[in-house]
Amino acid sequence: MSLEPLTRSTLDSVARQILAEYPAACQPSRLDSLQSAGGFSGARLWRVATPGAFYCLRATPAEQVDPRRLTGLHRLLSIVAGRGIEQCPAPLARTDGTTHCRRHDCVWQLERWMSGVADFSQNPSSLRLQNALSLLARWHVAARAFVPRPEEAAWFSSFDSQTSPGLGERQARLARWDAATCDQMHAALQRDDWPEFDEPATQILQGFRRAAPRIERELELGRRATVPLQPCLRDVWHDHLLFCGDAVTGLIDAHAARTESVATDLARLLGSLVADDRAAWDVGLAAYENIRPLSLDERGLVELFDRSAVLLSGLTWLEWRFVEHRQFAQPQAGLMKCLTQEVRSCCAFCLGFEFLVSGFTLGAHGQT
């Protein structure tokens, strides 16, 4: 039985049953459902108040979870936290020693509640940016020490020199979005009855058609570079970074973590924090390299991951709506804000693409 047909009171009852399988210190004096705080993943979250601390209870749809991978991820997060990265919460052990369980077609886990607010865009500063990138570098250094078990190696191994799997995946995704697929998607948009979604989605599709051939060539070149690979977050962005004042107090939601080049995390985080502000990119990269230096090839891949992400991220919305027919738990206003941001990024990228064609050099988030 899934969580979807359950009432809120029944959901809270299920959550309390799950919490009963944790040590006494985790038993709630108050339990607050956070509704759509799980974003677009479909996860449900609860804030758990106990006499001594606050925790976050998460229920993720079981079809999204490989238990072997999740066990490896939890061990990785425990290693990272044990090496001094306290801003990244490690899931807590249940009374049977495991860190997750399956109930009601969901996989449940409990972790510390991280204080702070994801407010960099409201209060940007060089110091905050430096602190964020320094923390990312420390996370990478700590994660590089992780030794996966054989059943975890497919997701969390490290290598001294290999090609990036993520670039190959992006190249394959570009290939799937050929002219016929774009025509089909355009027809679907013409038939759709959600104009607030369809107008920005049409702009994303038009921008993709113009810029895809160049990015495809760049990805082919980028795949020839060999760089160190290690466990990376792969979805570290503005809303996963919590601040109290200038200090980073939380680095949350590591569920996309997998073996990759550190370049993917740098591109994702910097792009979400400072967009195309090249001076800010330099500040952030310098802070990162004070702890974890980059090779020339890694620096080149940061740019390529950023440029290809700008082109492809908007397509995710079209796939969610017209291929997966996904229903969004997040309020429509929040969804449209995210989609509008994607359109702005795509339009900025395509403007840069037009300058490139004219002989100038302006990339998605700066110079190429």
Mean pLDDT by 10 residues, the chain (368 residues): 63 94 97 71 89 96 96 98 97 98 95 97 98 98 98 98 97 94 93 83 88 93 96 97 98 97 98 94 98 97 94 86 73 61 62 38 33
What CA–CA distances, in Å, run from 241 to 276, 302, 358? 19, 19, 38
The residue count for the chain: 368
For residue 37, the model assigns a pLDDT of 56
3-state DSSP helix/strand/coil percent for the chain, to nearest 5?
55, 15, 30
Segments making up each domain of the chain, as ranges: 8-112, 115-162+229-294, 165-224+295-368
For residue 366, the model assigns a pLDDT of 35
Burial class (CB within 10 angstroms; exposed 0-12, middle 13-18, buried 19+) of 152: buried
The angle subtended at Cα 198 by Cα 192 and Cα 202, nearest 5°, is: 120
For residue 362, the model assigns a pLDDT of 27
Secondary-structure class of domain 115-162+229-294 per CATH: alpha beta
Phi-psi region of 117 (alpha: psi -120 to 50; beta: other; left: phi over 0): beta
How far, in Å, CA of 216 to CA of 156, rounded? 27
Model pTM?
0.88
CATH number of the 8-112 domain: 3.30.200.20
